[in-house]
Chain A
Amino acid sequence: MGFFIAQLLTGLANAGALFMVASGLSLIFGVTRIVNFAHGSFYMLGAYVGYSLMQVLPGMVGFWTSILLAGVIVGLIGVIVEICVLRPVYRAPELFQLVATFGVILVIQDLTLMIWGAEDKLGPRAPGLAGVVRIMGEPIPKYDLALLAITPFVALALWYLITRTRVGVLVRAATQDREMVGALGVNQSWLFTGVFFLGCALAGLGGALQLPKGGADLLMDFNILTAVFVVVVIGGMGSLPGAYLAAVLISVLGVFGVTYMPQSTLVLMFVIMVLVLMVRPYGLFGRPEVAGEHGQVGEPERPIKPAGAQVRMIVAAGLALLGLMPLYGSSFALVLTTDILIFCLFAASLHFILGLGGLVSFGHAAFFGGGAYVAALLVTYADTPMELAMLLAPLGAGMAAIIIGWVCLRLTGVYFAMLTLAFSQLLWSLVFQWGEVTRGDDGLVNIWPSSWASGTTVYFYLSLVICVGGILFLRHAAHAPFGYALRAARDSARQAEATGINTKRVQWAAFALAGAMAGLAGGLFVFSKGSVFPNELEIARSFDALIVVFLGGVKTLAGGVVGGVALEGVKDVLTRFEYWRLALGVLIIVVVILAPDGLVGTARKLAERTGLLRTPEDSK
């Protein structure tokens, strides 16, 4: 009994930081409709800022002042980010802003590294709260009890702010109808900035508060981000009570999970999330999203045409140049190009559903990593030859996409995106924690190609044929009735349904095809590296593909491939520098602000303006 209570208390204590970060994210989303991927970074900043302040401010007063100040400082940093990065892109397509917040993550990561160094910081003990208290014989850290007391206080303060003050009333009103709030004389810009301050301050506060328990390190941002998404999605986007309940649920479950099912704590979290969403698609306290167009705001995409003779010549010349690479390139160049080719196929598969179908998936890595793991597991346990494994990789990933797509496509917009993220995380946690089969973090190694394909040059050609073939196939599908139907479902689902097109089924098939193609890329990947680790299934992988598609240009057919080449190329150059993330992050933010049509779209417009390309008579 005592043990049980101790576990419960620890769980509740852990819920504190999670709730604060999640409620901040939820508030920001409710009012601004922006999913702030950088929210974990503000949490991390809170921990580091708090740590530094505690070095300066001594004693109990100093400790608590540091925590409060950390919150305020991080809130102010959030304001700077909102004004400099997000304000210029509020009018951009809704999900384009995600890319900007992803740039912010990279910038904050490197700035933190610059200022505080790579070493983990051990959190200082809270003065006066160092020991443990025994409750029914079980030791409980005093600081846990303090957290237990503080969290409801913060939650209450927040509740008071939201329900009892003018600011809170405006925030809730804006969550429901932003335009009407503006028409009643409230300046939305400052409301947005204020909410950003509050949300970021909460994240910073959470980061500083957990210092004595966890310290500060550079992986905090992504580590909490996953849990926060789970909490926000289970609780319902924009709902504070939901966030609190879900934070407690996840934390308590986590603590019990460690005790009773240490191998499946993460899996458990995602299984719960998937279950909740299947029963209540908008979370426990969420409300259905008003149907809107996602990723399709602004100028409509131009009609597509199969490439003309000129373009075909250029592509053929480019391919010939690539094909002759072994004659003039170093073996390093061949490996790098193989990587880029594989990545381009992965990006092109996401572009197929995102660009043509308007389906923004946050979890496309599930199929890339899934394909890689299918192949690796087959080789490891069944001695499957490469040829067969590479055939089964897309099949396996495609099957996964059929199942996942069936569930996710019941939702739209940001909820669809969140659900895909949940499933990819579920897959990741399965691989990560099911050590007996997948060897967890150690990965699966010694997955080499068949002997005929083991040379760098041969494998390069193999990748070239498969990737270029896959990309051309996807491109052809875009011009086929199927690709047209996918665009029709995106442009006007109402008209498509009214003319007999089963839009959900079209989207489902496209999702499966994209999953299979990503799985193919994954299969190629695993044999080129000889190993696979869980990080191929991670959020960061999914984001890589998303960024590439957005940067390349959602509304252009070549966007995925061009973005893939550009990002991988730029990464190859930048990673030679110490602070490459900072540079990449800034670059991404600049591209988002200056080139909202993506690289291809903006380049085309520039070329048309300068007279290099003929402007179609139809575009104004």
Chain B
Amino acid sequence: MLEIAAVNSFYGKAHVLSDLSFTVARGQVAALLGRNGAGKSTTMKSIMQLVVPRSGAIRFMGHDLVGLPPHRVAKLGLGYVPEDRRIFTDLTVLENLEVGRQPPRDGTVTWTHEMLFELFPNLAERRHNRGKEMSGGEQQMLTIARTLMGNPSFVLLDEPSEGIAPVIVEQMARVILQLKSEGLTVLLSEQNLHFARAVADVAVIIEGGAQKFHGTLAELNAHPEIRDAYLSV
């Protein structure tokens, strides 16, 4: 469904992704693993064209994304949840959802407020609160809910478990499995292997912007030396 082929991306002068390649198949939950600075967020941004790769190809359901404006990428059915959340703090929960709203799309779930509030009960209580009045965990839920309003068929989650309380991390995991059961494809970036084990089918490990491992989590578990080389201390 998503194919990343020999992508090179720069952040200013820093060469962040070097010949990065991997694929994600329809219906999978794929975890992009690596230490901080490995290039996980840049991978997400490169897919969304918020960082335009200098070379390489990114194909999504037959479309080449490189060079498209981000809104066109979103219109193709890619939903992006940024690492730093970037909710609209002056807008209420409902208004934040409105920004994300897009027309229904064939072949994927059409989300309504009710469905989202069922998924994230905390948001239902706070629907008229402004973004800046919410806790970090609630903001994290809102940013996912906002992206789902665009009825994506593929969701990019950048560090969904970062900086939030353990209970909310559990809730996040439940949400991701729910999305999978609705038929969505998910690519999430993580530092936390434990979290990835709980939700993902396959793992892609990157280090220094290059792919070091691509396989199922069972395979990864069978090779602790890979884990030790790229993830642990």
Contacts and interface: CB of A to CB of B under 8 A. Distances in A.
Interface of A: 166, 169-170, 172-173, 176-177, 179-188
Contact of A176 (B69, B82, B90, B147): B90
A185 B88 contact: no
A183 B80 CA distance: 7
Contacts of B70: 179, 182-183
Interface of B: 48, 50, 69-71, 73-75, 80, 82, 86, 88-91, 95-96, 98-102, 146-147, 150
Nearest to B100: A184
Contacts, number: 61
B48 A173 contact: no
Contact of B88 (A172, A182, A186): A172
A290 to B, nearest CB: 13
B74 A173 contact: no
Contacts of A166: 98, 101
A181 B100 CA distance: 8
Interface of A (DSSP majority class): helix
A172 B90 contact: yes
Given A176-B89, A184-B146, 18 more contacts: A173-B88, A173-B96, A176-B88, A177-B88, A179-B50, A179-B70, A180-B88, A181-B99, A182-B69, A182-B71, A182-B74, A183-B50, A183-B74, A183-B82, A184-B147, A185-B71, A186-B71, A186-B99
A185 B90 contact: no
B86 A180 contact: yes
B80 A173 contact: no
B154 to A, nearest CB: 13
A492 to B, nearest CB: 13
10 contacts: A173-B95, A173-B99, A176-B88, A176-B91, A180-B88, A182-B70, A184-B99, A184-B100, A184-B146, A185-B102
B71 A187 contact: yes
A172 B71 CA distance: 17
Contacts of B80: 183-184
Contacts of B91: 169, 172-173, 176
Contacts of A172: 88, 90-91, 95
Contacts of A185: 71, 74-75, 100, 102, 150
Closest 7 CB pairs of A and B: A185-B74, A173-B99, A182-B70, A173-B88, A183-B70, A180-B86, A169-B98
A176 B90 CA distance: 8
A182 B150 CA distance: 12
A183 B155 CA distance: 12
A303 B172 CA distance: 51
A187 B70 CA distance: 9
A171 to B, nearest CB: 10
Contacts of A177: 86, 88
A177 B95 CA distance: 14
Contacts of B73: 183
Nearest to A186: B71
Contacts of B88: 172-173, 176-177, 180
Contacts of B86: 177, 180
A298 to B, nearest CB: 13
Contacts of A176: 88-91
A201 B95 CA distance: 26
A183 B158 CA distance: 14
Residue in A172, A173, A185, A187 whose Cβ sees the most chain B Cβ within 10 Å: A185
A177 B82 CA distance: 12
B88 to A, nearest CB: 5
Nearest to A164: B95
Nearest to B102: A185
A140 B98 CA distance: 46
Contacts of A181: 99
A193 to B, nearest CB: 14
Contacts of A183: 48, 50, 70-71, 73-74, 80, 82
A207 to B, nearest CB: 31
A166 B91 CA distance: 12
Contacts of A170: 99
Contacts of B150: 184-185
B50 A188 contact: no
A511 B120 CA distance: 54
Contacts of A186: 71, 99
Contacts of B90: 172, 176
Contacts of B96: 173
A180 B82 contact: yes
